[in-house]
Structure 1
Amino acid sequence: MSGQQSEVTFRFLAQPTDVNFGGKVHGGMVMKWIDQAGYAAAVGWSGAYCVTVAVGGIQFVQPILIGDLVTVKAKLIHTGSSSMHFSVDVLAADLKGGNPRLATSCVIVFVALDAPDGKPTPVEAWVPRDENEIKLQEYARRLLALSKEMEQQVADVRPPLREPKR
């Protein structure tokens, strides 16, 4: 049963424990936030347990500083039979009146799994409602095609895996 929630927004302050040695929030923490917001949105849409299967097109645009108000927005932009693709924007703003700035953006893909077997389970199809959503869906489709092409290129050059000697 689908929850029909196609967007999620998280807001919180960047903490001292989130930063790297340069004093800026490290990419791993930002990726964790992206995964958490995407998971909440995926479960909200599908009504099922979901797992991350891919992150594509990630761009770290501006740094996030300690004390910045961080906003993570995940928006559904494409569905497959059991997959959901979300556009995620991470914004940061100085609490003393700074305008929000884009810090990071990407597309993250989740697959819904059924409870008894942990196998992919169908999700309700998402239909774009306006011109902007149509563009976002096309972007998701292009990233998916590029990802499949990259997988094939890696498979073509990867040496075969060998069984360990016993």
Structure 2
Amino acid sequence: MEKYKNVKESRVSITELMLPSHSNFGGKVHGGYILNLMDQIAFACASKHSQQYCVTASVNRVNFLNPIEVGELVTLKASINYTGRTSMVVGVRVESENITTGKKKHCNSSYFTMVAKGDDGKNVPVPGLIISDDQGVRRFARSKYRKLEAQERDTKFESKTFNPQAYIKELENENIKIDLK
């Protein structure tokens, strides 16, 4: 295994025509279908970087910014944004293109945490990342801090240590009726 790999070495992109079978009841491409494609490309990117089988550990926020129409081409692009010891954060960007007008739309972006697995199913180390531009530094730093914030949030709201009384006043103006007994 190489000790470090350049971001460019594991970039992956796919383009697929959106068919009627991909649509939801509203006539747009189903978000679940797009999530499936996003997971597949994150797997491909992480596996290419680590040269191992990878599994999805988490998905960080998927905002559907623009609908995708049947008949449009959808392009998904993935690259490694962050490497830990056995995990990688894969940035995935989804764009659609109207094939008759050429108009492109950014549909969503998300971040998949993928973990490399060995033949025995245990986590295995992954190559580090060679970053050669400011954008790469920004992506790596953002992923690092997103990970730290998630750990802090999970700890703060852990059921064993959570104190509801500390939040009741803060929740008064929300769409909630608190009836603790």
CA distance in 1 between partners of 2:161 and 2:68 (Å): 37
Structure 1 partner of 2:171: none
The Cα of 1:142 is off from its aligned counterpart by: 2.1
- Across the aligned residues of Structure 1 and Structure 2, the Cα RMSD in angstroms comes to 1.9
Query: Which one of 54, 68, 89 corresponds to residue 93 of structure 2?
Result: 89
Kindly indicate whether the alpha-carbon contact (under 8 Å) linking 1:57 and 1:143 is maintained by their aligned counterparts in 2.
no
Query: Which one of 57, 69, 75 corresponds to residue 73 of structure 2?
Result: 69
Kindly indicate whether the alpha-carbon contact (under 8 Å) linking 1:77 and 1:128 is maintained by their aligned counterparts in 2.
no
Structure 2 partner of 1:120: 123
* Amino acid aligned to 1:135: R
The Cα of 1:158 is off from its aligned counterpart by: 8.9
CA distance in 1 between partners of 2:19 and 2:142 (Å): 33
Identity of aligned residues (%): 32
Query: Which one of 15, 36, 39 corresponds to residue 11 of structure 1?
Result: 15
Partner SS, residue 98 of structure 1: coil
> TM-score, normalised on structure 1?
0.88
Structure 1 partner of 2:37: 33
The Cα of 1:45 is off from its aligned counterpart by: 0.5
Distance 1:129 1:67, change over 3 A: same
The Cα of 1:49 is off from its aligned counterpart by: 0.6
Query: Which one of 32, 46, 52 corresponds to residue 50 of structure 2?
Result: 46
* Amino acid aligned to 2:156: Q
* Amino acid aligned to 2:128: A
* Amino acid aligned to 1:106: S
The Cα of 1:85 is off from its aligned counterpart by: 0.6
* Amino acid aligned to 1:126: L
Unaligned runs of 5+ in 2: 163-181
The one-character-per-residue Cα deviations of 1:39-70 (angstroms, maximum 9, x if unpaired) are 00011011111000011132111011101100
The Cα of 1:129 is off from its aligned counterpart by: 1.1
The one-character-per-residue Cα deviations of 1:100-141 (angstroms, maximum 9, x if unpaired) are 2100111111000011x2010000001221001111111211
> TM-score, normalised on structure 2?
0.81
CA distance in 2 between partners of 1:135 and 1:141 (Å): 10
Is 2:130 the counterpart of 1:131? no
CA distance in 2 between partners of 1:26 and 1:158 (Å): 39
CA distance in 2 between partners of 1:16 and 1:58 (Å): 23
Unaligned runs of 5+ in 1: 160-166
Distance 1:158 1:138, change over 3 A: same
Paired residues, number: 158
More divergent stretch after superposition (146-155 vs 46-55): 146-155
